[in-house]
Structure formats: structure tokens, C-alpha cells
Structure 1
Amino acid sequence: MATQEHPVSHLFVGSRGHLPDIVTAARRRATSRRIRDAFTIAELRNRLAKSLSRDGDGINTPQLQLLRFDPSLGMGDLMAAVWIAEEGGRWDETGEVLQLASQCGYCQLPLNLTADDINTHASKTAYGSVARVLAQLMLVGRHIDFGDGSRLQIVRHGDGEVRAIKDEPDFELGVDPPLAAHHLYQRHRQQHDPPVASRIFYLGATGRWVSGGDPYADASVSSLAKHIVLSHFYLTHQTNDTSISLNRRVGGGRLDGLLIQSPHTPVTGCTTTLSSDDCVRGLMLTDSSHPFVAWITISVAGLGTVVVFVRTTEAPVRESGAFKDRFPVTTQLARVALGRVAPYVFDGQVDDDIDDDDGAIPTAMAAAGMIWMTTATERTAEVTMHLKPRRRMLTDITQSTLRHHRVSGVLSVAAGCPESTHACLW
């Protein structure tokens, strides 16, 4: 005789389109003994595994496994895990954060989520009461371990206050802060991943996270998370850099376009991007398939000029020479992202024909004063390469210390930038 199928087996098998959502299933379980009998931990684990990897919108893909849930989860936590996997929204932005953190050595994928992670949110209502990316980072942030006793933990208090890194008042995040209607981040605001204001930065000289100065805005919650990860990596690892000052309209306006387009727009040749202060754009060139980390930072310097930095941990193929010859793989990756600007950055191209009616410094002048450097020196030497930003006096750290560690080789507050603008961490 053929084995009779359980009358409620449809709760656990088949495509998601034929499944009731987990809340409905839970209600049926509470009202029906037959459903309750079928609702075993083993069946829930099976449903969770299918939901995590479902085609099209699962958290995990065959190419990338982001999450798994600890096998010790009990019935209640398993049901919550299924809800997160099926109803908690897409993980695209949070996935990029986790991939960057993994690439930098701060976590290992897939993350193993436990009951403590799930119970970061008291209920699905609490989970859904905040922006989706923030809710997801509250779940997984503590797994991003910087190796110095600090983590990317994000805590939300009952009064709605959100804190990052340290559960202290000075480490509050201003999620979805009031921005001018014409502000780039406001014009391209995403409800699930809104802009965020913060005063948090990593103090490389002392190896600690501090808070100070005026708040700076990141384009989104995920951008801030990537900003934090990359700034810590930069200040704790040896990199080799090259940089140049350019008119933002060289190369057919490529740099200008990257700065004024939606900060959420993917960039050709880049694994992810981040934007800060409305005048800094970061372009990641590498992913976990590369044996090194490399990125580009484009930072507004005022008067129509930007500074382009290319940074890498690629091992040099020769002791001396031009950056492009010492770090050929990084250079090749950067050429794709920079497009027509690449010859200015790597090959010494100079163009005298840029229209400077807007007050921009002609490219020839910028090139005459450009910074061509390849360095693996201590960060203490880097601050001498940059213009001094204007900043209010602080009470918790000195002016010079803040300038050194917030600029850290990346010029985002310089002549012509707003006084309230903060230097980027990377």
C-alpha cells in the first residue's frame, strides 16, 4: 500500500507560492491538532533551509551563502527564523556589507545566527518597525568582529534611539535625519535603507572608536556600515596608495557623474559602493575572490576639483616604479571603474581644454600640483599631504587628532567644502 501523505504536508514542501506564510501556519498550528502534530522541529528546519535558498529572492544563493541558523534553535526561534527568511525582506544591501566585512577579514560567511541574534528583535512587529536594512544589521552586526574588542553591534532602545559600536549616548545614529530637499541623499532616499547621520570614527593612534565633531551623513544605513568597516581596515592595515587632484569634468565628466548620480547606482567594475558627506564616493574594486583589498575614493576638494585615491593591499610585483607597474591587478580593476579618467590617474595624461567657467581649477594647474605617491608609510606621515580642514573645537579629542584620523589620507574637507562637512574615514 502506498504511504498516505499527511494532510498538511503542503505547509513544508513545494514552492513558496503554494505555502501559507509562517504567521498563518502558526495560527493554524494553534487551532488544529493535526497541524500541530505535523509542525515538528525537523519539518520547520526543512522549510527554513528551503526558504533561505529559494530561487530569486532567497538570502543565500549557490554562489554566496550569507546566513545559516544554529541547529540548536527551538520551535519558537525556528518559527522566527522562517519569518525572517520569508517575510523579512531582501538582503541585497546587507549582503554587500557582509561580503565587504568578510573580504576585510572581520567575519566568516555564512554567519551562524543563534537565538540571541534572533531575539535582538522582541517580535516581528519590532522587526518591521525600523528600516529593513537596519533591522537586518541589528541581527548580524555583532558578527562583524574588528578583532580589537569592538564589533559592528547596533542596538535600538525602547525610546527608539539607535546606537552603533558602543551602547553609549555619544554613539547614537540619526537614522533618516532631516536633510534639505535638494540634498543628494534626500532626493535618492530609500525607505528600506535611509540616510543616517553619525559622529563615530576610529582613532587609529589609540585603537579605539570615538565620537566627536559635527554629524556627517552617509547615503544609507548600509553605506555607513561599509564606511565603518573600510575605515577600520584602512587604519589598521598597510596599504599602497596613489592619488591625484583633477578637475571633476575630465574624461567626459566621469568623476562629476559618479559624485552627482544616485549613491545607490551600481558602478561598472565595482563590487559595491559607499557615499559619505555628499562629497565622497567610495568604489570597491575587489571581492572575496581576490587575495587583496582595493578601492577608489573620490573626494571633493572645492573649486571644481576632486582628489582621486586608489588604495590597495596587493603585493607589489616590483620594488620600485610607477603605481601601475607595481600593482598591475589593482590598476587593471581601477581602469574599468574610472573609464576615461584612468589615463589621468595612471598614465600622466593632462588636458588643458577643460571649460573652467565655473571656477574650476584647470586640469593643467591641478596636474602641476598633483600628488603622485606610492606609500606604505605610517599614517602619521600621511596628514602632511592634505589641506587642513576647518572644524569647530572639540571637548573630547584635540583638533589635530580629529583631523588626522578622520582625514586619514582621504581629503573630503578642504578649500571650498562646507564647514560642517566631516572628513571621510577611508
Structure 2
Amino acid sequence: MQHTHHQQHPILYYFVGPRTFYVLSLADILRLRTTCTWLRDLFQAPELRQRLSHSLSTQAGLRRTATGQQLLSFDDRQMDVAELLTAVCVVELGGWGEMAEAIDLAMQLGYCQLPIILTAADLHQHKNKMVYMATPHVLAQLKMVGRHIHWGNGLTMRIFQRGGRLRAIKDYNRLELTLNPSLPAGHSYQQYRQPHDPPVRSRITHSGGAVPSHSAFTDSSMSSLVKRVLLSHFGRTHSNAAWNQAGVFIVDRHAGNNRLHILLMESPHVPVEGCSTTTAFCCGAGSDRRHRLVLTDASHSFVAWMDISDRTTGLRVGFFTTEAAEWGVGAAFKNRFPQTTRLARAVLGPDVAARMFGR
């Protein structure tokens, strides 16, 4: 009902200031703006900025687990009402958990600063709400966030779309992404497939996309692809990597009640206790399955992760760490890198860790 003296109308009490955070959903606001013109002035830029700030501070997944730092923000002073409504929509639709892990990892590796500040240009990567909703959540978010994750030399995790084709990092045909690729029957990525974060096939490797790999990679999800590329690039560009004979182990897959086999085969979407994030991928035809588990987070002064991959003789476990070595190259891994070893023991369990590092 239209009301000519709406300033005295008692129902306005419920639509003023922070009360709308709890009374109205975004769908309610859009509907009221369209159908109830006498309330439209209550949803202008100042009110929407307040709503956006509240949503950012309360939305699950948009703060770092280790420090509570906000991961995402908006350049809202440069946005008009339509863009502010879009920003509120992007935040309140939720589903930021997977992308938040990728952003958090990028910060830990030094590839972005927090919070990532999205602009109106980032929002315009999607033509409208319907297009945004029709796109798998993580891909939709990466289209906005990707250009803020960078390796230098002009390379970012930007997504290019040319009709039905997707490319990452560079608009180059050998850097195309295939969403939801066909997988062999019984493949675990098929079993754990998530519509909002689907598996991806590409040739993107550690170079950040400057030189595509000769072999294809199948990542368990879009977010996993982002994390794999970030970690691979970081590992290849840090000369103090601990990839050496002392940091690579072959272990019986059944050791410790199948602990390594479980870590390799379980859903990559399930958090692993003691790890800040994981990424899972296959090389080549899909038989070379790998899990990469990040052992550190923002509270650590170094970066460490471990790779688990399948070999005919057992499971191969390799470690990367930027922890400063306490002993020379000839010393055992546990003596050279005691902090990394301690973190790994917590994830591997006592039996497997004893086989690799000793008691």
C-alpha cells in the first residue's frame, strides 16, 4: 500500500538503520525497492554501505582462521546504488569457504594483500545476477578476485571468458580450463564432485601460465587448481626449498592403519586436522593422484607443506619448507627442520611419523 505520509507511518521503525540487517533479506530489499516506492529512499547508498559492512563482518568464511583478519572488502565509496546492491548480493549469497582458503593461502605465500578490495570493475565481470547465479560459485568468485592474486611480471590469476571458453592467467588457447571433465568410472573426484566447485582440467603449471605444461592436470575442484598453481609457483621460485633426499620418503600405504592411503583417497573438500588447507590433483591420464597438505598458516614465520602421491612401491611423501635449516644437508630431516617435522607428525600420526622420522 502506498502511504502519502510515510514519515509518520509506524512500520518505518522496522526499516531504519541496523534493524534491516535482521528483519530483511536481500530478496526483501529488492522486492520492496520495486513494489513499495515510498520505502525506496530507505535503501539508498548510505544504508546499503552500512548493510554491506555488516554482511562482510558476519559472513562465514570471510575471515582468516588464524588471525581473524578480514579477507575481502569493497571500494564502496566509488559505487552507485546498483553496484552496492550487487556487492551485497555477492557477499550474502555466501559460499565463500573454498575461495577464502585460496585467498588466505595467496596471502601466506605473498601473492596478495588483505583485505582484497573489490571494485565496481570487478563486479562487472558478470553481466547480471542471473549470470552470476548460473556460474559455479567458486568460478564466479574467482572472476572477481583473480586479478588481485599476482606473481609479478603482470601475471595474475585472472579468468578470461570467450563465449563458452575459459582461460586462466593469460588469454592464450593452451591455458584453457575445462569444467567438469569426463572422469574414469570410480574416480574419487567423480564421487566427491561439488556443483559449486567442480573438477577442472588444464595445462596450467608452476610457471604461472607463462609456459603451459605438456601434460594435462585434473584438479579436484576450481579452488584446488588455484591453490595448486600458487604452491607450485612458490616452490619453484624459492631456492631454499627442502626438496632433497632427506625430505622424500616411501612408506607402506597400510602403515598406521592406512593413514597415508586415507589422506590420499579421502574427499579433498574435508578439512584435515593440523592443516590449513589441501589441494588434490592428478597428472596425465589420471592415475598419478596427489594430495598436497599445507602444514602452516598465517601464524607461522615460514611455509611448509607435504605431497602424498601413489607409487608402485608404496606412497611417496615429499616435504617442502622455507624453515631455516638448523643442521647441514647431510643431517636427518627431523634435525634440519624440527618445526616442520613437528607439524607433520601431528598430521601423520605416531606410527607413520616414526617410520619416516624415527621416534
Query: Would you say same fold, with TM above 0.5?
Result: yes
Query: What is the 5 A alignment of 1:229-308?
Result: 229-238=230-239, 239-241=241-243, 242-277=247-282, 279-303=289-313, 305-308=314-317
Matched, 1:167 2:199: no
Which of the numbers 92, 95, 104 marks the counterpart of 2:97? 92
Which of the numbers 64, 72, 83 marks the counterpart of 1:67? 72
| Structure 2 residue aligned with 1:112 | 117
- Tell me the distance in 2 between the aligned counterparts of 1:285 and 1:14: 42
| Structure 2 residue aligned with 1:344 | 355
Which of the numbers 117, 126, 130 marks the counterpart of 1:121? 126
State the Cα distance separating 1:31 from its structure 2 match: 4.1
State the Cα distance separating 1:192 from its structure 2 match: 1.0
Cα pair distance change 1:161/1:344, threshold 3 Å: same
Matched, 1:176 2:180: yes
State the Cα distance separating 1:181 from its structure 2 match: 3.1
RMSD: 2.2
Matched, 1:10 2:11: no
| Structure 1 residue aligned with 2:46 | 42
Secondary structure of the structure 2 residue equivalent to 1:297 = strand
State the Cα distance separating 1:52 from its structure 2 match: 1.3
Contact 1:68 1:113 in 2 (8 A): yes
Contact 1:66 1:109 in 2 (8 A): yes
Contact 1:11 1:20 in 2 (8 A): no
Cα pair distance change 1:228/1:78, threshold 3 Å: same
Which of the numbers 37, 49, 52 marks the counterpart of 2:56? 52
State the Cα distance separating 1:328 from its structure 2 match: 1.2
Contact 2:15 2:42 in 1 (8 A): no
**Greater RCO, 1 or 2 (C-alpha within 8 Å, sep 6+):** 1
Contact 1:244 1:307 in 2 (8 A): yes
Contact 1:284 1:294 in 2 (8 A): yes
| Structure 1 residue aligned with 2:151 | 146
Matched, 1:314 2:323: yes
Cα pair distance change 1:299/1:32, threshold 3 Å: same
| Structure 1 residue aligned with 2:203 | 199
Matched, 1:189 2:190: no
- Tell me the distance in 1 between the aligned counterparts of 2:48 and 2:62: 17
**Which stretch of the first structure deviates more once superposed, 274-283 or 288-297?**
274-283
Identity between Structure 1 and Structure 2 (%):
43
State the Cα distance separating 1:9 from its structure 2 match: 5.3
- Tell me the distance in 1 between the aligned counterparts of 2:232 and 2:312: 23
| Structure 2 residue aligned with 1:405 | none
Secondary structure of the structure 1 residue equivalent to 2:216 = strand
| Structure 2 residue aligned with 1:389 | none
For residues 352-385 of structure 1, the C-alpha deviation after alignment (integer angstroms, 9 at most, x for no partner) is xxxxxxxxxxxxxxxxxxxxxxxxxxxxxxxxxx
| Structure 2 residue aligned with 1:133 | 138
Return the letter of the residue paired with 1:165. Answer: I
State the Cα distance separating 1:34 from its structure 2 match: 2.6
State the Cα distance separating 1:247 from its structure 2 match: 2.1
- Tell me the distance in 1 between the aligned counterparts of 2:84 and 2:29: 13
Q: With structure 2 as the length reference, what TM-score do the two structures score? A: 0.88
Contact 1:52 1:58 in 2 (8 A): no
Matched, 1:81 2:83: no
Secondary structure of the structure 2 residue equivalent to 1:308 = strand
**Which stretch of the first structure deviates more once superposed, 250-259 or 289-298?**
250-259
Cα pair distance change 1:14/1:224, threshold 3 Å: same
Q: With structure 1 as the length reference, what TM-score do the two structures score? A: 0.74
Secondary structure of the structure 2 residue equivalent to 1:234 = helix
State the Cα distance separating 1:156 from its structure 2 match: 2.5
State the Cα distance separating 1:11 from its structure 2 match: 6.6
Q: Which runs of 5+ in 1 are unaligned?
A: 350-426
State the Cα distance separating 1:60 from its structure 2 match: 4.0
Cα pair distance change 1:11/1:167, threshold 3 Å: farther
Cα pair distance change 1:280/1:25, threshold 3 Å: same
| Structure 1 residue aligned with 2:344 | 334
State the Cα distance separating 1:263 from its structure 2 match: 2.0
Bigger helix share: 2
For residues 214-233 of structure 1, the C-alpha deviation after alignment (integer angstroms, 9 at most, x for no partner) is 42211111111100100110
Contact 2:61 2:97 in 1 (8 A): no
- Tell me the distance in 2 between the aligned counterparts of 1:215 and 1:272: 23
Return the letter of the residue paired with 1:337. Answer: V
